[in-house]
Structure 1
Amino acid sequence: MGKLKQAGLICAGILGGILISLQFSAMAEKETPTSLPIEELRTFAGVFNAIKQGYVEPVDDKKLITYAISGMLSNLDPHSTYLDADAYKDLQVGTQGEFGGLGIEVGMEDGLVKVVSPIEDTPADRAGVKSGDLIFKIDDTLVKGLTLTEAVKRMRGKPKTQIKLSILRKGENKPVEITLTREIIKVQSVKSKLVEDGYGYLRITSFQENTAAALIKHLNELYKPGPLKGLVLDLRNDPGGLLNTAIGVSSAFLPPKTLVTSTDGRTPDAKHKFYSSPEDYLRRSGQDDYIKNLPAEARTVPMVVLINGGSASASEIVAGALQDNKRAIIMGTTSFGKGSVQTVLPLPGNTAIKLTTARYFTPSGRSIQAKGIAPDIVVEEKANGSSSMRLREADLEHHLENNKDGKDKDAATPAKPQSKAPAKSKGNPSRDEDDEASEPPSRELASKNDYQLGQAINLLKGLQIMQNRP
C-alpha cells in the first residue's frame, strides 16, 4: 500500500503539473486556475499504477499520459483533440493548402473513423469515399481500439504508396473495400468560370490562408469581359477552415465594417464580434489588404450561395453572414451545423491540443450548432427531388448542443421547397428517371448537369428581368 500511495502522489503530481502547465502556458493572463480535484486525481493515480504494475505488457509512462489526455479531449466533443508532434505539424501545413494523405475530413464514432466529407479532387474523392462512411479497417489493422490521431497517422504516408480502407456504408449489405494511392494533397481552394455571358461562378472548396486573396483574383478575372449580371458562390461540400478567411471572403461581398459573425465562450477572449474590417480578416499586421483589389461591383452584384449538408464551419459563417445581411439568396439544402470554434493551444514538445472554446453566431444572433443554415430556397440535388444522405453535426457522438433558447428552434427548419419533383407515373419509373437518380455527380466545373447550379442561374436571370422591368 505504501508503494501504491507513493505512486499515487507522484502520478497526481505529474497530472497536476500538466494541468497547471496547460493553464498557465496556453491561457496566460486569464482567470486564475481552479483548484485541482484531489480525490479524482488519486483515482487516476491508482489506475495509472495498476496499469504500470499489472498490465500484460510494459507501457511507457509518456504513452499512458498521452492516452489520458487524448481520452479527456475526445470525450468532450467531436472536434476537441490532442495533437502529437506529427499531427500538429500536419495541421499547420494543412492550412497552407498542401499536405500528405488521402483527402478526407474525419471524426470518430463508436470507435470507428467516420467520414465527414471527402475533399474535392483528392484520392478519396476520386475513389468514391462518401460522407457518412465508417472506416473499420486500415490495411490489416482494425480501427477499433485506435485513437483518431493514431488512425489518421496510419492513413497518412509517403506519396505513391497504396492503402486499403474497409468501409461500412449505409445501404450496402457487405463491407466496401477501396484501395487508394496516397499523394501530396494540393488543394486549389478557389475555382471560377463564366457560366454564361454575364453570369459568373465561384467555387470555394476549403478556407485556407490564401483563399480570400485568391477569391479576389478570380473575381477580377470574371469581371474582365465586362460587368456581371449575377454571381453564384458555391460552398457545397466545403468543410470549412480558418475563421479569418471566412471573414475575408464575407468582406468581399459586404460593405466595410459590417458584422460578419460573433463568438461567445467562457473566457473573455472567446467573446468577440468580427466585422468586414482588415483588423479582423488579415492574419498578420502589415499584411497586404487584398480587398483593396476587389472589383467595386462585387459588393452589389446579385448573388446566390449554394450550400448542402457538406457545407460546414467557415462556409456556414459566410452563408449566415450573407443571409442575415440580405446580401445573397441561400439555395440548396440545410448545412452541416458545426457552429463551434476550436482554439489550438501549443504544449511542450511541439504538441498541442485543439480545444472547443466558443460557439459562433450569425449577425442576427442565430446559433447554428447542431442545426445548420437553412436555405432561403430549398433545391434538392436532383430534379426528381432526391439528395444524398449526409452526415451532420447532430449525428456525431458527443456533439455540442445548441445553447439557444426556444426562439431559435426553427433556425434550421428548411423553407418550403420551391422546386417540385416532376410527377411520376404509377407504373415503373421511366429510364430517364432511373438514369438521373443513379448518375454520379459530374466532376466538371459548373457542369450543365448540375441541377442546383442551373436553378441558381435561372433565379438570377429572373431577378435580372424583374430589375429591368419598367
Structure 2
Amino acid sequence: MPNLSRLTSLSMCLALLLGSAGSHAAEPPAAPASPTQSSANSSARGVLPLDELRTFAEVFDRIKSSYVEPVDDKTLLENAIKGMLSNLDPHSAYLGPEDFLELQESTSGEFSGIGIEVGMQDGMFQVVAPIDDTPAAAAGIESGDLIIKIDGKPTNNLSMMDVVELLRGKVGTSVELTLIRGEKDPFTVELTRAAIPVKSVKSLLLDNGYGYLRISQFQINTGAEVGSALARLKKENGGKKLNGLVLDLRNNPGGVVQAAVEVSDHFLKKGLIVYTKGRVPNSEMRFSADPADASEGIPLVVLINGGSASAAEIVAGALQDHKRGILMGTESFGKGSVQSVLPLTNDRALKLTTALYYTPKGRSIQAQGITPDIEVTPAKVTREKAHESYKEADLAGHLGNGNGGADKPSSKAKAKPRPQDDDYQLNQALILLKGLNVTSNRP
C-alpha cells in the first residue's frame, strides 16, 4: 500500500501550489460581486477536488516507487503541468525557461531554426505557414504540409512544445522532416538551421503608381514598419499618391495582437478594429481606429490564404467589415483565439488561451476563418513563346501619326522580370486595382 502520510502531505503541497498559481494569474474584480456571482466563483475556483488530488498523489507515488527507471520529483511535476495545458487547446502551453525565451525572441525579431509556424490539424502537426526568406521557404515547404516525422522520430506522441524544441537548434545544424502533402506519398526534406532575422515588412512598386506591401508576421515593431513602408512607397512614386496597393497577408501566421491593431489603423480613419471576450474582466478589450490615415484612402486589395492566421485575420476582418479593401485569395486559417503569456517564477510562463476575438461586425473567426470577397486559387500560368512581330511603325516609308504623335515601333528589349509575372494571385490583385482606378477616373 502507498504511504498514506506521504500522500496526504503531497496533496496539501499541491493544494498550496494550485492556490499560489491562481493568485498570480487572476486579476482583482473591477467591482464587488453579487452574492450569486460570489457563490458561482467559489464553486468554480474556491473548492479544490480533493478526491482527484489524492488520486494524483497516489499516481505520483506509484511512478516514484515502481517505474522501471528513477524519475525525480521536478520532472514528474513539470510533466503534470504540461499535461494539464496540452489537453486544453492546441495553443495553450507551459513554457520552460528556454521556451519562454524563444517566444520572446520570435516576437522581437530573431531566432534560430528552420522558419515555420506549426499548428495542429486533426491531431497531426501541420505547417501553418513558412516564414519568408528562411530554410523552410527555400526548400519549398508549403502551408498545409503535415509533419509526420522529425529526424526519423514519429510526431504522433509529441506535444507542441516537443515539436518546436526539435525544430529549433543551433545555427548550422541539420534537421530532417518527413512530410505529407495532400494525397501524395510522404517525402523527406533535410534542412540546415539558420538565424531567422524576421523582417516582418517589405515593400516595392509593382508597376507605375501601384504598390505592394508584404507582412510576413506581426512583431512588436510591425505597425511602425508599415507606416515607414507606406511613406517610402509614396517617395518612390515621385512623391505622388499611389493609384492602389496590394497588402499581402498570405502565409502570415499572426503574432502580436497590438501590431495587428496598429496596421489596421494605418488604413482606417474611424470605427472599431477588433474586440475580445473572455471569462476574466481584463480579457475583454476593444480597439478603435484614430482619424489619421497613413494610406491616404488609396484603393486596396488584401491577399489571404489558408496560411493567414490569428493577427493576420484580425487585419483582414477589420478591413473587410469596414469595406476598406477587397479581400482576394482563399479562405484563411481560422485561429480566432487570444493567448496571454502569464509569467511564473524561475523564468517560466504559461501561454494560456484567455479570450476569443471578434471583427467589428461581431464575427468570430475561430475554426471558421475569413472568406475572401473574390476567390482566386493559386495557379501557374505558362506564357506563350514570344514570336517576332512587326507593327506599322516598323515598315519603311510608313506615314506619320495624324496628330503629330511619336512612332511606336515593336519593342525588341527583353522585359525585366516582375513579382506579378510568376504569382497568379498577385497578378489578379494588380489587374483588379487597375480596373478600379480606370472606372473611378471616368467622367
The aligned residue for residue 27 of structure 1 is 26
- Structure 1 residue aligned with 2:279, among 257, 260, 266? 266
> 36-45 or 312-321: which moved more?
36-45
The aligned residue for residue 99 of structure 1 is 111
Counterpart Cα distance in 1 of 2:104 and 2:312: 20
Is the 1:254–1:299 Cα contact (8 Å) retained in structure 2?
Answer: no
Q: 1:190 is aligned with what amino acid?
A: V
TM-score normalised over the length of structure 1: 0.79
Counterpart Cα distance in 2 of 1:166 and 1:348: 37
Shift of 1:48: 1.2
Q: 2:158 is aligned with what amino acid?
A: L
Is the 2:318–2:359 Cα contact (8 Å) retained in structure 1?
Answer: yes
The aligned residue for residue 17 of structure 1 is 16
CA-atom RMSD in angstroms? 2.2
Counterpart Cα distance in 2 of 1:207 and 1:41: 41
Q: 1:221 is aligned with what amino acid?
A: R
Shift of 1:112: 5.1
- Structure 1 residue aligned with 2:317, among 303, 312, 320? 320
The aligned residue for residue 194 of structure 1 is 205
Shift of 1:26: 2.1
Is the 1:74–1:81 Cα contact (8 Å) retained in structure 2?
Answer: yes
Show the 5 A alignment for 1:68-467: 68-108=80-120, 113-173=125-185, 175-224=186-235, 225=238, 226-256=240-270, 258-277=271-290, 295=294, 298-382=295-379, 446-467=419-440
Residues 53-91 of structure 1 deviation map (CA, whole Å, 9 limit, x = unaligned): 111111111111111111111111111111111000000
Structure 1, unpaired ranges of 5+ = 278-290, 385-430, 434-443
Does the C-alpha gap of structure 1 residues 214 and 69 become closer, same or farther in structure 2, counting only changes over 3 Å? Answer: same
Residues 233-282 of structure 1 deviation map (CA, whole Å, 9 limit, x = unaligned): 010110000000000000101115x21000001111111211125xxxxx
Query: Which of the two has higher C-alpha Rg?
Result: 2
Quote the sequence identity (%).
Answer: 52
SS class of match (1:95): helix
Counterpart Cα distance in 2 of 1:9 and 1:145: 32
Does the C-alpha gap of structure 1 residues 301 and 54 become closer, same or farther in structure 2, counting only changes over 3 Å? Answer: same
Counterpart Cα distance in 2 of 1:445 and 1:91: 36
Counterpart Cα distance in 2 of 1:213 and 1:355: 27
The aligned residue for residue 392 of structure 2 is none
Is the 2:206–2:418 Cα contact (8 Å) retained in structure 1?
Answer: no
Q: 2:155 is aligned with what amino acid?
A: V
Counterpart Cα distance in 1 of 2:123 and 2:206: 44
Shift of 1:127: 1.5
Structure 2, unpaired ranges of 5+ = 30-40, 385-416
Counterpart Cα distance in 1 of 2:193 and 2:265: 36
Is the 2:151–2:176 Cα contact (8 Å) retained in structure 1?
Answer: yes
Does the C-alpha gap of structure 1 residues 112 and 64 become closer, same or farther in structure 2, counting only changes over 3 Å? Answer: farther
Is the 1:255–1:299 Cα contact (8 Å) retained in structure 2?
Answer: no
Q: 1:453 is aligned with what amino acid?
A: L
SS class of match (2:205): strand
Is the 1:111–1:143 Cα contact (8 Å) retained in structure 2?
Answer: no
SS class of match (2:419): coil
Is the 1:201–1:446 Cα contact (8 Å) retained in structure 2?
Answer: no
Is the 2:117–2:129 Cα contact (8 Å) retained in structure 1?
Answer: yes
Counterpart Cα distance in 1 of 2:120 and 2:12: 31
SS class of match (1:447): helix
SS class of match (1:219): helix
TM-score normalised over the length of structure 2: 0.84
Shift of 1:135: 2.6
